[in-house]
């Protein structure tokens, strides 16, 4: 999704009003509203092309992980990769992954006429600066590429921003991607992760947008097959330009679970279509988005996936399991998976209630622990400055932090360079993940219900910390509630 935390333009407001009415009439679930916020103007950073001054080159580490562990999976989507986007605050929280959709590389802007590419526009200079800063600071950048030129579009629209690529233009896109990757996988940019599109399975209600650009005629299974056919052509071109580059599927909305009795779950069939097109070998990283909805107090849920804080936890757990099941069915059980948008949504909130801010902080801690346990390569919060009307910000424009930011900072401190060991089921009503951090056992524990629960630990811990990093009373038996705690044991 692309939902910059700034006032939305009038057409988008009208679209949101229409969708809100549908939501409250029961026609559309809140999950679909994820696809309706539009981008607006962005600040113009300075360029760092040749002649603009010296820069430091960061050389990325080679090799790919099929599952997390021994690394840092925590990330955030940014409005800009500089101090306007509070980059230093993210570094202080040890966030290592950045997703860049606000400064996406847009095909139709670079190549408005077939075969005539302009990489020198101010927009590209600005985007290059963002990519170079991320490399200089040692960040892992997920760079989005989207936008189909009118000359390459399969279907008509009001502009050249969205829509499936005509099959006879797949090779034109492959040639564009080959040149793009050759330019930006090299110093000083060193981009390695290329996300193709954004929520390609989302409903394209607005016609032209930055999401839902591959869904046609409500037959999302066939749309997925078509997207997979494109990947089969484009993937070899990207790898020929940079074998170490990683091709990431545009984060799928996956707004419902097809394994449940849900007659309105067409969107999830998009990924089945991709895999049925024999595209399992034409991407490196599967990718989805996972939002949950605040239900008052400290509770959250996602009814379309049958998940809740009081039962099976964040929806990213169920979505990861589904994506892995589909890939395993097609012979790719160990392919990497990312979640490039997650957040707790305060649906239609002009301001964030205190209970919601507490619930959001809890959600950050729980979701990161769950993502690491489920083997995700990265888990990217949407977003640093938040989604207008949903109060998802980690930081305010003035740099003041939220409780969720503090919870994220503790999560990265406790779980970076950790590997998942097991989930402990010895204490009823409690979720307990066990990790190994360089030979030291770390437990992340919380109660699933609103009631406090006692947790019997296997031995006396070295220390117990709350989700903000404050030390708590220690003992072999501890009391927990919805707020996760980190239990450190001796090496």
Average pLDDT over residues 425-429: 94
Each residue's pLDDT tens digit, 73-117 = 999 999 999 998 999 999 999 999 999 999 999 999 999 999 999
Task: Lowest mean pLDDT of 22-26, 274-278, 385-389, 441-445, name the range.
Answer: 22-26
Task: Lowest mean pLDDT of 144-148, 206-210, 357-361, name the range.
Answer: 206-210
Would the pTM of this model clear 0.75, i.e. be above it? Answer: yes
Tell whether the model's pLDDT for residue 187 goes beyond 70: yes
pLDDT of residue 228: 98
Q: What is the mean pLDDT of the chain?
A: 85
pLDDT of residue 250: 97
pLDDT band at 175 (very low <50, low <70, confident <90, very high): very high
pLDDT of residue 263: 59
Tell whether the model's pLDDT for residue 201 goes beyond 50: yes
Each residue's pLDDT tens digit, 36-65 = 333 333 333 333 333 333 333 223 333 333
pLDDT of residue 484: 98
Average pLDDT over residues 310-321: 96
pLDDT of residue 34: 41
Residues 6, 40 contacting (CB under 8 angstroms):
yes
Task: Lowest mean pLDDT of 28-42, 131-145, 193-207, 312-326, name the range.
Answer: 28-42
Domains of the chain: 45-416 (3.20.20.80), 430-488 (2.60.40)
Tell whether the model's pLDDT for residue 384 goes beyond 50: yes
pLDDT of residue 156: 66
pLDDT of residue 71: 75
Tell whether the model's pLDDT for residue 11 goes beyond 60: no
Tell whether the model's pLDDT for residue 321 goes beyond 70: yes
> How far is Cα 16 from Cα 37, in angstroms, rounded to an integer?
7
> How far is Cα 201 from Cα 251, in angstroms, rounded to an integer?
9
* Percentage of residues in the chain having pLDDT higher than 70: 82
Tell whether the model's pLDDT for residue 72 goes beyond 80: yes
């Amino acid at each position: 999704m692309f939902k910059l935390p700034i006032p939305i333009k009038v057409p988008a407001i009208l679209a949101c009003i229409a969708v809100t009415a549908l939501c409250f009439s029961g026609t559309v679930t809140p999950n679909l509203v994820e696809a309706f916020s539009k981008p607006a103007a962005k600040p113009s950073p300075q360029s760092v092309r040749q002649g603009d001054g010296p820069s430091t080159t960061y050389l990325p580490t080679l090799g790919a992980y099929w599952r997390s562990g021994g690394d840092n999976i925590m990330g955030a989507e940014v409005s800009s990769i500089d101090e306007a986007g509070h980059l230093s605050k993210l570094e202080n929280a040890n966030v290592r992954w950045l997703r860049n959709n606000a400064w996406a590389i847009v095909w139709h802007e670079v190549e408005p006429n077939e075969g005539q590419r302009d990489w020198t526009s101010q927009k590209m200079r600005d985007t290059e600066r963002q990519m170079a800063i991320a490399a200089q600071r040692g960040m892992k950048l997920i760079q989005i590429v989207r936008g189909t030129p009118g000359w390459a579009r399969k279907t008509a629209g009001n502009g050249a921003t969205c829509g499936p690529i005509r099959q006879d233009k797949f090779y034109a896109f492959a040639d564009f991607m080959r040149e793009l990757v050759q330019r930006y996988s090299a110093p000083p940019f060193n981009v390695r992760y290329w996300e193709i599109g954004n929520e390609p399975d989302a409903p394209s209600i607005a016609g032209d947008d930055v999401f839902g650009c591959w869904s046609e005629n409500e037959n999302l299974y066939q749309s997925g097959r078509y997207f997979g056919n494109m990947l089969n052509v484009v993937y070899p071109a990207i790898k020929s330009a940079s074998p170490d580059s990683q091709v990431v599927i545009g984060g799928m909305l996956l707004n419902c679970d097809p394994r449940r009795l849900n007659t309105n779950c067409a969107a999830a069939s998009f990924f089945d279509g991709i895999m049925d097109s024999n595209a399992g070998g034409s991407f490196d990283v599967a990718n989805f988005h996972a939002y949950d909805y605040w239900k008052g107090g400290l509770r959250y849920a996602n009814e379309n996936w049958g998940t809740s804080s009081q039962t099976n936890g964040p929806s990213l757990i169920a979505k990861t399991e589904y994506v892995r099941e589909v890939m395993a069915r097609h012979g790719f059980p160990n392919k990497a998976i990312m979640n490039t948008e997650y957040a707790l949504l305060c649906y239609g909130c002009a301001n964030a209630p205190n209970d919601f801010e507490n619930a959001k902080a809890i959600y950050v801690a729980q979701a990161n622990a769950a993502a690491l346990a489920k083997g995700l390569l990265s888990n990217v919060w949407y977003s640093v400055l938040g989604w207008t009307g949903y109060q998802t910000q980690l930081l305010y424009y003035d740099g003041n932090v939220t409780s969720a930011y503090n919870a994220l900072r503790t999560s990265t401190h406790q779980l970076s360079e950790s590997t998942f060991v097991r989930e402990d089921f010895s204490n009823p009503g409690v979720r307990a993940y066990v990790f190994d951090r360089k030979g030291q056992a770390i437990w992340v524990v919380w109660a699933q219900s609103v009631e406090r629960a006692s947790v019997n630990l296997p031995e006396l811990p070295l220390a117990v910390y709350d989700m903000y990093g404050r030390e708590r009373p220690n003992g072999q038996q501890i009391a927990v509630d919805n707020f996760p705690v980190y239990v450190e044991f001796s090496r």
